[in-house]
Structure 1
Amino acid sequence: MSAYTESPRYRRCQAIFDRTYPNFRDAGQRYADRIAAALTEETRLLDVGCGRTSLAADVMQQAQARIGIDLSFSDLQHNTSMHAVAMADAAHLPFPDAHFDLLVSQWVVEHFVEPEAAFTEMARVLRPDGRLVLLTTNANNYIPLVSRLVPDGLQRFMIEKLLRRPSHESFPTTYRANTRRAIQRIASRTGFEVESLEFVGNPFYMAFNVLAFRVAMLYERMTDWRPLNGFKLYIVATLRRI
């Protein structure tokens, strides 16, 4: 917990959310569920962009072998959930063909400059019929749409002052593989098929103000309607290697 999430304002927003969605499973929980469904005790797992930890770290402990790659040397130094780590990017993975049974990746796809190259490389190191589980941002949601219009300096200010997070923890985003259509297109070109894909909301980016949060909650209720569901903030997807 942080001072931000423990604040009276945030708790009030949380209470509003809980009344509307009493049994809600957030994107991180759904991501962990998908990983758990693909895991066995013999699974060789690669976490692409492992960072310091994962929302599914507890679930991934079941894997026989856990390898992580990241571009941040500092994050790799602090990662204790992987058996081994390497400094590498998704488009240049230092592993043999068909080496892994399961690939997982959270908050990484939105940063891919050349997503087809990254997905092709991930397909290369994944065995046939293996799974790639993704948690990423939906480019069609208002948060990334607004962020692309905001200058970098103002984005850093908003991250630090409104969200109470250090700006250096955020990295440039491209959103080149961050819609249902884009994921389906790239999957079909790189040796994958989309097995399942769901959109999950999160109004808490607006929890810096109760009125703003109520507006965000109205948006969540609207996007619960199936034709508008594709405008929620997150995408959780499972791709099968073919």
Structure 2
Amino acid sequence: MSYVHSMTHRVLPSAADLARLFALKYGDPTTTGPNPRRRHTHNYFLPADVYEATVANAVFPGCDWLDVGGGTSPFPDNPKLASELAARANRFVGVDPSANVFDNPYTREKHQAFIEDYTSPAPFDVATLRMVAEHVTSPDSVVSALARLVKPGGLAIVFTVDLWSPITVVSRVVPFDLHYPVKKLLWGGEEKDTFPTAYLMNSRRDLKRLFARGGFRESEFAWVDDCSALSRFPLLNTVELVARNALRKVALRYPECNLLGVYCRK
């Protein structure tokens, strides 16, 4: 994977970055599994792929990296990249209120704590929050902690669901006890990795406002199309991908999307 040395450079991935990520994660597009091959045919990358390529561009050799709420891995479906970036960083710290942080084989320091309660002897160049923001109940406190923990000029990278995406809208009205059964049907996973949601940091406006109050500026932002809801059903997933490409041709976003924001500490 490519990387940048200065936080003033763009870290959202280029087409070439995404192609390298695909090769590392899935292998040759002609011989890989049917789902990644289908996505490659339609020139589509999962939101997680885009996030991973973004972090790969931000974690430069010798940097100090803080992963917030990452649990057992910064990239659950990309162990190769997790190993590569962990080796690239000088210091790699995981902070998570769940005890699963101790099962993370990549972080060199592991702390079971809320980020608001964590202290560090030195600030970090990069902080990453993968699918964490939707669970935060005190966003100002979290951003204040990040402001304390990220160096001036450093980055906080937030990857989360969009407040107004159809699946998020449904999850806001469906009782929490039903979240895991639906999640298991569509994406799999374990019940222990399903947590209550608050959705207080899940629009671009809210993220920009919260981070501005904490002393950050939005340096980059992307709405990342999410065509994974029907990935277990090949024909329906193909319909998703075709619909997404049709919308892009008329400059419209696919309704189901994730947010990927990069915030630079002033």
TM over 0.5: yes
1:137 is the counterpart of 2:161:
yes
1:84 is the counterpart of 2:104:
no
Partner residue of 1:149 out of 173, 176, 184: 173
Contact 1:159 1:167 in 2 (8 A): no
RMSD: 2.5
> Please, which runs of 5 or more residues in structure 2 have no aligned partner?
1-32, 76-80
Output one character per residue of 1:158-194: Cα deviation in whole Å (capped at 9) or x when no partner.
2334443333321111111111111111111111101
Contact 1:35 1:60 in 2 (8 A): no
5 Å-filtered alignment, 1:40-189, equals 40-55=60-75, 56-57=81-82, 58-73=84-99, 75-96=100-121, 99-189=123-213
2:261 match: 237
- Counterpart amino acid of 2:87? Q
Contact 1:113 1:176 in 2 (8 A): yes
5 Å-filtered alignment, 1:204-215, equals 204-210=228-234, 212-214=236-238
Contact 1:32 1:59 in 2 (8 A): no
Contact 2:135 2:196 in 1 (8 A): yes
> Please, which runs of 5 or more residues in structure 1 have no aligned partner?
1-10
- Counterpart amino acid of 1:237? G
d(CA) in 2 for partners of 1:241 and 1:127?
7
User: For residues 89 and 228 of structure 1, do their structure 2 counterparts lie closer, same or farther at Cα, with a shift above 3 Å needed?
Assistant: farther
User: For residues 127 and 163 of structure 1, do their structure 2 counterparts lie closer, same or farther at Cα, with a shift above 3 Å needed?
Assistant: closer
2:11 match: none
Q: Quote the offset at 1:140 in angstroms.
A: 1.9
Q: TM-score, normalised by structure 1?
A: 0.82
d(CA) in 1 for partners of 2:250 and 2:214?
29
- Counterpart amino acid of 1:36? A
d(CA) in 2 for partners of 1:76 and 1:230?
34
Contact 1:134 1:236 in 2 (8 A): yes
User: For residues 152 and 32 of structure 1, do their structure 2 counterparts lie closer, same or farther at Cα, with a shift above 3 Å needed?
Assistant: closer
Identity across matched positions, percent: 23
User: For residues 225 and 121 of structure 1, do their structure 2 counterparts lie closer, same or farther at Cα, with a shift above 3 Å needed?
Assistant: farther
Partner residue of 2:41 out of 15, 19, 22: 19
- Counterpart amino acid of 1:32? E
Q: Quote the offset at 1:222 in angstroms.
A: 5.5
d(CA) in 1 for partners of 2:252 and 2:114?
34
Q: Which moved more, 1:215-224 or 1:121-130?
A: 215-224
d(CA) in 1 for partners of 2:237 and 2:156?
33
Contact 2:225 2:254 in 1 (8 A): no
- Counterpart amino acid of 1:20? H
d(CA) in 2 for partners of 1:95 and 1:223?
45
d(CA) in 1 for partners of 2:160 and 2:250?
20
The answer to which structure, 1 or 2, has the higher relative contact order (CA under 8 A, 6+ apart) is 1
- Counterpart amino acid of 1:76? V
d(CA) in 2 for partners of 1:149 and 1:229?
24
